[in-house]
Amino acid sequence: MTSVLVKDLTLKFGALTVLDNLNIDIPEGEFLVLLGASGCGKSTLLNCIAGLLDVTDGEIHINDRNVTWEEPSGRGIGMVFQSYALYPQMTVEGNLSFGLKNARMAKAEIKQRVARAAEILQIEPLLHRKPAALSGGQRQRVAIGRALVRDVDVFLFDEPLSNLDAKLRADLRVEIKRLHHNLKNTMIYVTHDQVEAMTLADRIAIMKGGIIQQLDTPTEIYNRPRNKYVAGFIGSPEINFFEGEVEQGTFATGGERFSLEGYAFQGAATAGAAWLGIRPEHIVSGGSAKDLPVTAEVTVDIVEPMGSDTLAWATLAGVPLRIRMDGQAAVSTGDRILIGFDPARASLFDKTTEERL
Amino acid sequence: MVDAVIPRGPKPRPRFSRTNIMLYGTLIVVAAYYALPLYVMIVTSLKGMPEIRIGNIFAPPVEVTYQPWVKAWSEACTGINCEGLSRGFWNSVQILIPSVILSIAIASVNGYALANWKFKGSEVFFTILIVGAFIPYQVMLYPLVIILREMGLYGNIWGLVLVHTIFGMPILTLLFRNYFTSVPEELFKAARVDGAGFWGIYFRIMLPMSLPIFVVAIILQVTGIWNDFLFGVIYTKPADYPMTVQLNNIVNSVQGVKEYNVNMAATLLTGLVPLIIYFASGKLFVRGIAAGAVKG
Amino acid sequence: MSSSSNARKPSGLFRNLSAKIASVPMVLTALVVFVGGTAWTVLYSFTSSKLLPKTNFVGLDQYERLWSTRRWLISIENLAVYGFFSMIFTLVIGFTLAALLDRKIRGENVFRTIFLYPFALSFVVTGLAWQWILNPDLGVQSVVRSLGWESFTFNPLNDPDIVIYGILIAGLWQGTGLIMVIMLAGLRGIDEDIWKAARVDGIGTVKTYIRVIIPMMRPVFVTALVLIASGIIKIYDLVVAQTNGGPGIASEVPAKYVINYMFRAQNLGQGFAASTMMLVSVIVILIPWAYLEFGGKKRG
């Protein structure tokens, strides 16, 4: 069953098109992450779904109801903001119950809902404190609680973890995932952090310039990026790109010629100018490299040991190459090493359209 | 039938919704109220006395005359003296220029010292200065008379310049101190490492990058000093009275027939300098008074 | 500051010498004028100084005389009435206008410019303009009467009972723009997400202002109150220009009383005592404020 449906959504501010004819169908219980660099329109899209922004064209349906003209409070959504947006002069309990009281809900019902939310989020001891007396993580929990008490089917998160430090962010990420697992609500989550996106999402929508570049599962996006932008955006360290020509089952670049044996083309294999992308972690070095379809010998320029793994920089076909190695790899600047990769794990993009081949 | 409309695109909102009518209606009525006195002053100053006596103060002039302006500027009387407001204008200019320069020069160096060269006790003096800004002037008026008399400055323009410098100091020092504090400390440290001293850093680094705050300070001081009445009336002699004092004496003079058109022309002439600054500076004026409002 | 962490410390007085020299005007102003001047005035308020300051102390005589002078009592009453209404109306009007301008309206700059221009004008100009508008024979009263409402009476400047309200009208016109600008800055400082959260919670605009925004703006209101209050106590030029204390002594204010006794009536002791009373009233206002502002910070 569809939970949230975005249909032909366009938003313009004057001459500026912020969202361009978007279509998204979000099934019930899905965790969808809107991912993109700042200014890509992801928060704007979320605000349109919430009803905080008037759309220029298109429709928004929530739970099979056309809510395009509904007020945010009438859409059956709860929302969590980056700055928490807690009412600073009210206690935690006041924050949770303010909207319900305003909707003239029975006192007993309010009490029950607040108690339930507090229990789920483990904030019962904090109920009588004011937001100023809470830590960042606790404030974010209260903000989630405010969405929770509304007893709605759809939760909207607008970069909820961006204001927290790295450790707390990792902890709360797991909690949000657990929350989703327990509640099974539909959740739409905006972030610019690809780790958050990859770990939380059932599906990710990568946006750029008001257009969804790819809407897929994290695995699919990582392994089979639909275009060059997505390939470059996802993955850290960044994917390596080679500019060259596809000709007769090979990729020619800067004097090198890579075999494309095993690469699954989208359609028929076509010749022409293209980009080849291969992720640093898909480049194999050492003994096992020599059995791969593509091999080369390179000189290590720089080594960046990071504990869990090591990033080596070399030059191949005239472009800098990142190679991700084991953390214990014995490699140092100036070493000649043999590397190789499997073309099946690489991605090819058309030179002009930058679409996947 | 209504149900047949499928919601799509922007929510249809009446162009003149009740909220909007209330909102703009209130704003327009209030704006008219605020604009009215200026309008009345202008139309009155352009009418002849006969027209004023029979007419309505809100009515535009039937016959426009600039005579009241000429008279206000060069002929209006205070008591037996009939030189018009021009003398007060030039007095005000003579008071204004040195006061603005001196008060800003002292306060900017002062704020700079407080922001970047704190010494033992500097914060204490600053606190006294800021608290002092809340002390009613009346408490300090007479001691200042004594001080100025001892310095031989009582009753002349330079005495008044000094008074303006003193009473402008709290707000200006605060303004400059806050501004210089917001300058990245690394910049200051780098200059010190390069061997620049107190004055070198002030003139070559701080001054060039703080033009906007100087403009704000100038706006603040020009309007404040031009509009001053109290200090002018107490610390100068009638021959040196600033424009505001002279204006009050002309309009509230009990001798002769009241010439409302001349009075309004004189009032407008006095208000012209701050009004021009206000309309020309726009956002900076707002910034100036907002800066004046920040608490120490 | 970096200067205090120098490894080589020149001996006390000469360290940071330029800064100290630059601060001489501030130190002199703070100590001689503000502290010294205030102390001097308070001290001499206990003397019987007339034309010149003298040091024959007479205890509280000047204060007893002050509080039994009708003119002073009227001044205090006027200040209380003016202050009370000025605070309430300035805050209400200032906040309301700011809230209206904050509603993402067209022509915000035009409206703001109109509401604020009176603040650029001096009190003398303000007083004279309103003296003219409120002129009973040619001003608002006569215009309304000429429209057919013959019995209409609005002549505050010549009616001792309501003259202070005539001054209040002019004072509000001049000063509300400032408070509006401060309130608007406060409103603009409020996190946009708070408004969004309130909309998701289904809270109406007015209710959001009253229950959420105004409580959040407490520091702004306190600043505004302090500004209004210190302006009220200083009120002088407006009265001189608009009514010169009249009719009779019906619109006298304390600041004017002080100036009159010090510089016109040649009764310095009365002037000192009256100005000391003004100082006391400022302290009464400032102490709770300082407590709220700085005492509150320590707790939080």
The CATH number given to whatever domain includes residue A294 is 2.40.50.140
Q: What is the pLDDT of residues C56-71, one digit of tens each?
A: 888 888 899 999 999 9
C4 pLDDT tier (thresholds 50, 70, 90) = very low
Minimal Cβ distance to B289: which of C3, C100, C178 = C178
A287 pLDDT tier (thresholds 50, 70, 90) = confident
Task: Please give the tally of structural domains in chain A.
Answer: 2
Residue B235 forms contact with C (CB below 8 Å): no
In percent, the amount of chain C with pLDDT more than 90 equals: 57
Which is more confident, C11 or A272?
A272
Shared domain check, A280 and A265:
yes
Shared domain check, A206 and A242:
no
Do residues B178 and B294 make contact, with C-beta atoms less than 8 angstroms apart? Answer: yes
Q: Residue A102: pLDDT above 70? A: yes
Average pLDDT, chain A: 92
pLDDT value for A88: 92
Which is more confident, C3 or B71?
B71
Residue A270 placed within a domain: yes
Neighbours of chain A (3+ CB pairs under 8 A): B, C
pLDDT value for C9: 52
Cβ distance of C202 and A89 shorter than 8 Å: no
Q: Residue A220: pLDDT above 60? A: yes
B291 pLDDT tier (thresholds 50, 70, 90) = low
B188 pLDDT tier (thresholds 50, 70, 90) = confident
Neighbours of chain B (3+ CB pairs under 8 A): A, C
* Residues linked to residue A246 through DSSP beta bridges, in sequence order: A251, A272
- CA atoms of C93 and A348, how far apart (whole Å): 66
pLDDT value for C295: 62
ipTM of the predicted structure? 0.90
Taking every pair of C-alpha atoms in chain C, what is the biggest distance, in angstroms? 86
Q: What is the pLDDT of residues A45-101, one digit of tens each?
A: 999 999 999 999 999 999 999 999 999 999 999 999 999 999 999 999 999 999 999
Cβ distance of B53 and C258 shorter than 8 Å: no
pLDDT value for B1: 43
Q: Residue C299: pLDDT above 50? A: no
By DSSP bridging, strand A186-191 and strand A16-27 are unpaired
Note down the domain range covering A110.
2-231
Q: What is the pLDDT of residues C136-157, one digit of tens each?
A: 888 888 888 888 888 888 888 9
Shared domain check, A101 and A12:
yes
Q: Which domains, from first to last, does chain B contain?
A: 2-65 (no CATH), 86-293 (1.10.3720.10)
B10 pLDDT tier (thresholds 50, 70, 90) = confident
Residue C54 forms contact with A (CB below 8 Å): no
- CA atoms of A193 and A204, how far apart (whole Å): 12
| Residue for token pair 């009007």 | C93
Provide the shortest C-alpha distance from residue A202 to chain B (in Å): 29
Q: What is the pLDDT of residues C107-130, one digit of tens each?
A: 999 999 999 999 999 999 999 999
- Say which residues have a Cβ less than 8 Å from residue B4's Cβ, sequence separation at least 6: none
Residue A355 placed within a domain: no
Interface test mutation site (partner B, options A8, A68, A71, max chain B beta carbons within 10 A):
A68
pLDDT value for A357: 87
Residue C18 forms contact with B (CB below 8 Å): yes
The CATH number given to whatever domain includes residue A67 is 3.40.50.300
- CA atoms of A198 and A217, how far apart (whole Å): 9
Q: What is the pLDDT of residues A123-159, one digit of tens each?
A: 999 999 999 999 988 999 999 999 999 989 999 999 9
Q: What is the pLDDT of residues B75-93, one digit of tens each?
A: 887 777 778 889 999 999 9
- Helices C163-188 and C108-120, packing angle to 10 deg: 130
Q: What is the pLDDT of residues C184-211, one digit of tens each?
A: 989 998 999 999 999 999 999 999 999 9
Cβ distance of C33 and B144 shorter than 8 Å: yes
CA dihedral B273, B278, B279, B283 (to 10 degrees): 160
Shared domain check, A282 and A135:
no
- CA atoms of A235 and B43, how far apart (whole Å): 72
Interface test mutation site (partner C, options B52, B139, B172, B254, max chain C beta carbons within 10 A):
B139
pLDDT value for C6: 46
pLDDT value for C166: 94
Shared domain check, A99 and A84:
yes
Residue A356 placed within a domain: no
Shared domain check, A217 and A284:
no
Residue C42 forms contact with A (CB below 8 Å): no
The DSSP-derived string for chain C is -GGGG-SS---GGGTTHHHHHHTHHHHHIIIIIIIIIHHHHHHHTTB--SSS----B-TTHHHHHHHT-HHHHHHHHHHHHHHHHHHHHHHHHHHHHHHHHTTT-TTHHHHHHHHHHHHHS-HHHHHHHHHHHT-TTTSHHHHHHHTT-TT----GGG-TTTHHHHHHHHHHHHHHHHHHHHHHHHHHTS-HHHHHHHHHTT--HHHHIIIIIHHHTHHHHHHHHHHHHHHHHH--HHHHHHTTT-STTTT--HHHHHHIIIIIS--HHHHHHHHHHHHHHHHHHHHHHHIIIIIHHHH-
Shared domain check, A208 and A96:
yes
> Does CATH number 1.10.3720.10 belong to domain C60-299?
yes
Shared domain check, A290 and A225:
no
Provide the shortest C-alpha distance from residue B4 to chain C (in Å): 27
Residue C210 forms contact with A (CB below 8 Å): no
In percent, the amount of chain A with pLDDT more than 90 equals: 73
Interface test mutation site (partner C, options B23, B110, B125, B138, max chain C beta carbons within 10 A):
B138
Cβ distance of C199 and A89 shorter than 8 Å: no
Residue C296 forms contact with A (CB below 8 Å): no
Shared domain check, A225 and A99:
yes
Q: What is the pLDDT of residues B39-74, one digit of tens each?
A: 999 999 998 888 888 888 898 888 888 988 988 898
Task: For residue A134, give the chain C residue with the closest CA.
Answer: C300
pLDDT value for B293: 55
A33 pLDDT tier (thresholds 50, 70, 90) = very high
Task: For residue A96, give the chain C residue with the closest CA.
Answer: C201
Residue A357 placed within a domain: no
Q: Residue A22: pLDDT above 90? A: yes
Using alpha carbons, select from C56, C82, C95 the residue that is nearest to residue C256.
C82
Q: What is the pLDDT of residues A157-208, one digit of tens each?
A: 999 998 888 888 998 999 999 999 999 999 999 999 999 999 999 999 999 9
Q: Which of A110-119, A252-261, C149-158, C259-268 has the highest mean pLDDT?
A: A110-119
Cβ distance of B247 and C272 shorter than 8 Å: no
Shared domain check, A314 and A246:
yes
Residues of A in contact with B12 (CB under 8 A): 69
Q: Where in chain C is the domain with CATH 1.10.3720.10?
A: 60-299
The mean pLDDT of C73-102, rounded to a whole number, is 95
pLDDT value for B294: 47
pLDDT value for C7: 47
B295 pLDDT tier (thresholds 50, 70, 90) = very low
C298 pLDDT tier (thresholds 50, 70, 90) = very low
pLDDT value for A329: 82
Shared domain check, A213 and A244:
no
Q: Residue C94: pLDDT above 90? A: yes
Residue C185 forms contact with B (CB below 8 Å): yes
